[in-house]
Amino acid sequence: MAKSTKTKEEDRLIERTVQEVAQNYLENYYRRHHGKSQIYSKLEERTKKIYGMKRADGLLAYKRSHRSAYVISMEAKSHKTLPALKPYRVHSLWIRDSIWKGMLLTLMSGILFFVWRMTEQPALIRFGIPFGVWTLAAICYAFVYRNSYRYQEMKVIHQVLQYPANEKWLSFSNDAFELIHPALQDNLFKICKARGVGVLLVDPKKNVEMVHRPKKISKWIGKDYLLYYHEEENIRKNLGLKATTKK
């Protein structure tokens, strides 16, 4: 038993390995599918001081025009940072939506019109019936959608969104994914897709599976997301872009 546990531990990937494998995969992916022979690719790229010096696990960029670049950021996670990957319920949003949907279901049921005609009944009954229906509808909605990804979030999503880019990726190891409760695994992908974040899975043999692509975010013409990064001018020079005008 102990031997099996040891083997399982040895199969787990460290975060640095996930970073390197995912970065290489993305570099090759953008070369193949976007026909870009010249790509800037670097691990551990920070944003400028005025933007919090946030550290992206990986940054890629390629020339889009003579003045701007297309930017891709990446965040990597392993089993050691598992808490950041686990979806958790946002109770305030779940409860608020349940109350609102309960009200809509009450209105759609026509119970208010029915009670309005009960002119001979005491006020307690006239107001109590619709309130009871509303409460029951809200409870039913809350129960049915208690595990919906719509009311869940992940800490890693907030991290990924800290790195401005046209496309944002989250990469993590298979072993970390398997440690998440099965009922939440599918939600993890749905949350990422709903937030526009692409997902890569890295297995023990360092093979990469693309679960889904990220949403493309546009920047104003003539501007790009390199403006946020500390090595902006060096990246521009590397890609053969015109330097920004410093005031």
**pLDDT tens-digit profile of 195-230?**
999 999 999 999 999 999 999 988 766 689 999 999
Beta strands in the chain (DSSP E): 39-46, 55-63, 69-77, 88-89, 152-153, 167-173, 197-202, 208-212
How confident is residue 107, by pLDDT bands cut at 50, 70 and 90? confident
Measured at the CA of 156, the angle between CA 152 and CA 158, to 5 degrees, comes to 80
| Torsions phi, psi for 26 (to 5 deg) | -65, -40
| Model pLDDT for residues 147-167, shown as the tens digit of each residue | 888 888 899 999 999 999 999
Across 63-72, 124-133, 187-196, least confident range: 124-133
Q: Where do the structural domains in the chain lie, given as residue ranges?
A: 15-29+37-87+154-239, 89-150
Is 181 buried (19+), middle (13-18) or exposed (0-12) by CB count in 10 A? exposed
Give the chain's radius of gyration (CA, Å).
25
Does residue 3 have a pLDDT over 60?
no
Q: What is the pLDDT of residue 112?
A: 60
Q: So what's the architecture of 15-29+37-87+154-239 in CATH?
A: 3-Layer(aba) Sandwich (3.40)
